[in-house]
Amino acid sequence: MDFLIQLFTDPVGFWSSHTLLISQIAINSILASSMFVVLYSGQLSLAAPGFMAVGAYTAVLMSLYLHTPLAVNIAAGTALAGAAGVVVGLPVLRLRGVFLAIATIGFIEALSLGVILNLPITGEGLGLKNPDADPVGGIYPVLISMAVVVFFLWRLTKGRLGYAWTAIRQDELAALSQGIDVPRYKLIAFVLSAVLAGYAGGLESHLNFFVDPNEYGVPRTVQVLTFAVLGGSGNVIGPVVGALFLTTLPFVFQQAGDYIGVVSGVILILVIIFRPQGIIGRGGFAFVRPRWWPRPQVSAPSTG
């Protein structure tokens, strides 16, 4: 509770004492937005941490070995993440629902275990040190980035692309009947999500002095997924709210102390049961539905 009290009574002090937290919220929001893009197009992709890693390591390695400016490094990391998005996205286009989820988990684990933890250049299990990091000043570019990303995605969802994605999410087959090139638009969403995740990774790597190789595995992806689903992936602001809520949860519930894990779990279950569509929910998912899962709205039974 002290946390919230300080927020309202001493905003300036709050700002300076919680810089890193605010930056982290912004980074998590960008990650959640990356998740938003794939979920909005009906794809349960859990690959975000993998692309984050691509962005982070590229940016830091370039900084360490090529001594190029920060903007260039992050741009390169983002671009490389996008390219990785194409490479991973193409083969998995046909997969739906849990199958896509598992394939993307396969990707991040393979990346983690096969590359990050094993190549000397990435520092193997010890990670990389990044002396160029700027935890304090970094908050400005990060916050601005978050605003730009959210605005960009918001406009995107209102345009032709957004309509196509929503149609695909609701019903791929019906979307096809309206002339929407479903595989192409799914790939676009996938790659865009990779770009955003790579960008977030690049930014994050310059907030801390250390790139932790353990940050890009399954626990991270579970975290990002939770931001998006808990916040509600029906519109842009949902995942951001989810990220905000969950990142600050440990601080708000400081009293819980060591039991924060238990509290988080309980809150997660309660929210999803009582608001399955998320905190800011609207719109459903067109995943491969289990046969027995009752349909929420049914039209007249088949007569043909």
Partner 1 sequence: MLLRLDKVQRHFGGVRAVDGVTLDVEKGAIQGLIGPNGAGKTTLVNVITGYVPFQAGIAWLESDQLTGLPAHRVAGLGIARTFQNIRLFKDLSAAENVIVGMHSRRRDDTLAQLGTLPAFRRDHRSRVNEAHRLMEVAGLDPGEVGHRPAGTLPYGDQRRLEIARALALQPRLLILDEPAAGMNPSEKQGIRELIERLNQDGLTILLIDHDMQLVMGVCTRVAVLNFGRKIADGTPQEVSTDPGVIKAYLGTGSEREVTSAPGATGVEEVAEEVRAAAATKRSAEPATAILEVRDLSISYGSVNAVRGASLRIAAGEVVALIGANGAGKTTILSALSGLIRPSSGIAVFDGLDLTTAKPSAIVRHGLAHVPEGREILGRQTVLENLELATWARRDRAAATADIATVMKRFPILAERKNMRAGTLSGGEAQMLAIARGLLAKPRLLLLDEPSLGLAPQMVDEVFAAIEEIHRDGTTILLVEQNALRALGIADRAYVLETGQILLSGSGDDLLHNPAVRRAYLGG
Partner 2 sequence: MGQQILNAIFIGSIYALFAVGYTLVFGVLDILNLAHSAVFMLGAAVTYSIVVNHGQSFWLACALAIVVAALMGLVIEYVCLRPLRRRRAPPISALISTIGLALIIVAAVEQGRPGTLFAWLWVDGANSVSLPPGTFPNPTWNVAGLTLEGTKLAIIPITIALMLLLGYVMRYTQVGRGLRAVAENPRAARLMGIDVDRMISLTLVISSALGGLAGILFGVALGDISPYIGRDSVEVRGLAVIVLGGMGSIPGAVLGGYLLGAIEVLAVVLLGSNVRAGVAFAALFLMLVLRPQGLFGAQLRERI
**By the criterion CB under 8 A, which residues form the site for partner 2?**
44, 91-92, 94-99, 101-103, 105-107, 109-115, 117-118, 173, 218-219, 222, 225-226, 229-230, 258-262, 264-269, 272-273, 276-277, 284-285, 287-296
**Residue 265 binding target from partner 2, partner 1, none, CB below 5 to 8 Å by type:** partner 2
**Residue 69 binding target from partner 1, partner 2, none, CB below 5 to 8 Å by type:** none
Which one of 1, 12, 173, 273 is in contact with partner 1 (CB under 8 A)? 173
Name the percent of the chain in helix, strand, coil, to the closest 5.
70, 0, 25
Instruction: Identify which of residues 9 and 297 has a Cβ nearer to partner 1 in the complex.
Output: 297
Q: Please state the closest distance from residue 225 (CB atom) to partner 2, in A.
A: 7
| Sole window of 107-115, 128-136, 159-167, 203-211 interacting with partner 1 (rule: CB under 8 A) | 159-167
Extract the tokens encoding 183: 């595989």
d(CA 104, CA 118): 20
Which CB contacts under 8 angstroms, 24+ apart, belong to 68-71? 70/132, 70/206
Please give the DSSP secondary-structure letter assigned to residue 121.
Answer: G
User: 3-class SS at 240?
Assistant: helix
Instruction: Identify which of residues 117 and 244 has a Cβ nearer to partner 2 in the complex.
Output: 117
Give yes or no for a contact between 287 and 42, defined as CB atoms under 8 angstroms apart: yes
**Residue 145 binding target from partner 1, partner 2, none, CB below 5 to 8 Å by type:** none
Q: Please state the closest distance from residue 152 (CB atom) to partner 1, in A.
A: 6
Size of site (CB under 8 A) for partner 1: 36
Query: Is 16 among the residues that bind partner 1 (CB under 8 A)?
Result: no
Radius of gyration of the chain (CA): 20
d(CA 133, CA 138): 8
Write out the binding residues for partner 1, residues 221-240 only, by CB under 8 A: 234
d(CA 15, CA 262): 28
Give yes or no for a contact between 221 and 28, defined as CB atoms under 8 angstroms apart: no
Instruction: Identify which of residues 101 and 188 has a Cβ nearer to partner 1 in the complex.
Output: 188
Give yes or no for a contact between 23 and 139, defined as CB atoms under 8 angstroms apart: yes
Which one of 144, 158, 214, 266 is in contact with partner 1 (CB under 8 A)? 158
User: 3-class SS at 208?
Assistant: coil
d(CA 260, CA 238): 23
In the shown chain, the binding pattern of residues 103 to 142 toward partner 1, with x for contact by CB under 8 A and - for none, equals: ----------------------------------------
